[in-house]
């Protein structure tokens, strides 16, 4: 059994990670570290797990665990790792933004399995992609991999309230979010850096803009993304290209049907739909921001790192009705 620990256990992504790991047939969840909830039952915060675990939040860290998931606020993972020493054999999967951009001062591998599977298998440290970055990258990287991004890409995506985390603010309060819709961080979202990095790796000569408008929706979870750009081939050319690119992908599927969030919420899947309009290709992608966009993808990365079948513990059914 893989001995696993979680650092920062009180948030939404940690809650989903706990749920997955408790049911994972190859994992023993050894500890869940939290400074704010230490000593309290995990079910005090994650009440959906009542009757499923007797674990308590801990102030103690098992430095000999096989894998540690960092579910800390952005900017805190680097600080935590600088203050805590782990064995050289430990594998670390960070769910924050801290290590997603390649740099000489860290050895984290970007953990998007659809494009980086072999590097993930050999890695000790993984930077788990962001939720918007996952949805957008999976929509456009097949074009980049074939050198077919020839113009600016225009992206509009909406995320549920859980994308903002558990900390309350004006725009996460129920009375503001309910029956409301808004754009934020237009052209400046923090995930643009990692998306651009992935595009450049696959198509180094790409120099046009990635125009991204993120939106807040009045629902709890999920991302619905539309991206369009110039494409000179036919609709069938595009479908064949995407199907070939994702033919070995465990959780990413190219489909013909119109897409909506109920198809993917509570799963580790990303669904893609392609449509051709005159000289433009429209790619729609949908996924669960807390699973495929965070904790599910982190477990997928863990499975790859430990040589397990990719979908182990991740065969999850959507809450369709």
Which among 58, 67, 61 has a CA at the least distance from the CA of 299?
67
Please say if 71 is a catalytic residue. Answer: no
Which pLDDT value is given to residue 167?
58
Res. 168: pLDDT tops 70: no
**Among 71, 131, 225, 270, the one annotated catalytic:** 131
Rounded alpha-carbon distances, angstroms, from residue 65 to 1, 89, 110, 225, 307: 11, 9, 22, 37, 17
Residue 250: the pLDDT is 96
Instruction: Report the residue count for the chain.
Output: 321
Provide the 10 A C-beta neighbour count for residue 86. 16
Q: What is the CATH number of domain 131-287?
A: 3.30.360.10
Return the CATH class of domain 2-128+294-305: alpha beta
Question: Where are any strands of DSSP class E within 178-267?
Answer: 182-183, 210-216, 223-230, 252-254
Distance (Å) of CA 179 to CA 182, 214, 220, 231: 11, 18, 12, 36
Return the closest-CA partner of residue 297 out of 48, 115, 152, 46. Answer: 115
Locate the domains of the chain by residue range. 2-128+294-305, 131-287
Virtual torsion, Cα 72, 199, 188, 281, nearest 10 deg: -120
DSSP string, 144-187: HHTT---S-EEEEEEE-GGGG-SS--TTTSHHHHTT--EE-STT
Q: What is the mean pLDDT of residues 49-71?
A: 93
Residue 95 has pLDDT above 80, yes or no: yes
Contacts of 19 (CB under 8 A, 6+ apart): 46, 48, 49
Residue whose token pair is 């994650």 = 46
Predicted confidence (pLDDT) at residue 8 exceeds the cutoff of 70: yes
pLDDT digits (tens, 9 = 90+) for 179-219: 899 999 899 988 999 999 999 999 999 999 999 999 999 99
Place of tokens 């047939």: 25
The structure's pTM equals: 0.94
């Amino acid at each position: 059994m893989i001995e696993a620990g979680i650092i920062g256990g009180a948030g939404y992504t940690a809650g989903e990670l706990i749920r997955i790991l408790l049911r994972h047939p190859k994992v023993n969840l050894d500890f869940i570290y939290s400074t704010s909830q230490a000593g309290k039952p995990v079910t005090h915060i994650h009440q959906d797990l009542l009757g499923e675990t007797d674990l308590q939040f801990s102030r103690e860290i098992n430095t000999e665990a096989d894998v540690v998931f960092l579910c800390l606020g952005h900017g805190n993972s680097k600080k935590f790792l600088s203050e805590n020493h782990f064995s050289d054999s430990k594998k670390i999967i960070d769910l924050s933004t801290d290590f997603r951009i390649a740099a000489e001062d860290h050895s984290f591998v970007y953990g998007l399995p659809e494009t980086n599977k072999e590097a993930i298998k050999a890695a000790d440290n993984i930077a788990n992609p962001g939720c918007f970055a996952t949805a957008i990258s999976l929509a456009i990287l097949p074009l980049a991999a074939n050198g077919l991004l020839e113009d600016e890409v225009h992206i509009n995506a909406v995320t549920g309230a859980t994308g903002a985390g558990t900390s309350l603010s004006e725009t996460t309060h129920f009375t503001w979010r309910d029956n409301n819709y808004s754009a934020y961080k237009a052209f400046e979202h923090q995930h643009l850096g990692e998306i651009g990095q992935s595009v450049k790796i696959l198509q180094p000569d790409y120099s046009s803009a990635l125009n991204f408008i993120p939106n807040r929706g009045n629902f709890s979870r999920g991302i619905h993304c539309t991206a369009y750009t110039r494409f000179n081939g036919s609709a069938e050319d595009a479908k064949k290209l995407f199907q070939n690119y994702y033919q070995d992908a465990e959780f990413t599927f190219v489909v013909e049907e119109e897409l909506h969030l109920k198809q993917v919420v509570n799963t580790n899947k990303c669904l893609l739909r392609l449509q051709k309009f005159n000289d433009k290709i429209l790619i729609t992608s949908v996924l669960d921001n807390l699973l495929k966009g965070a904790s599910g993808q982190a477990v997928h990365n863990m499975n790859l790192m430990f040589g397990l079948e990719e979908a182990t513990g991740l065969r999850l059914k959507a809450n369709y009705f």
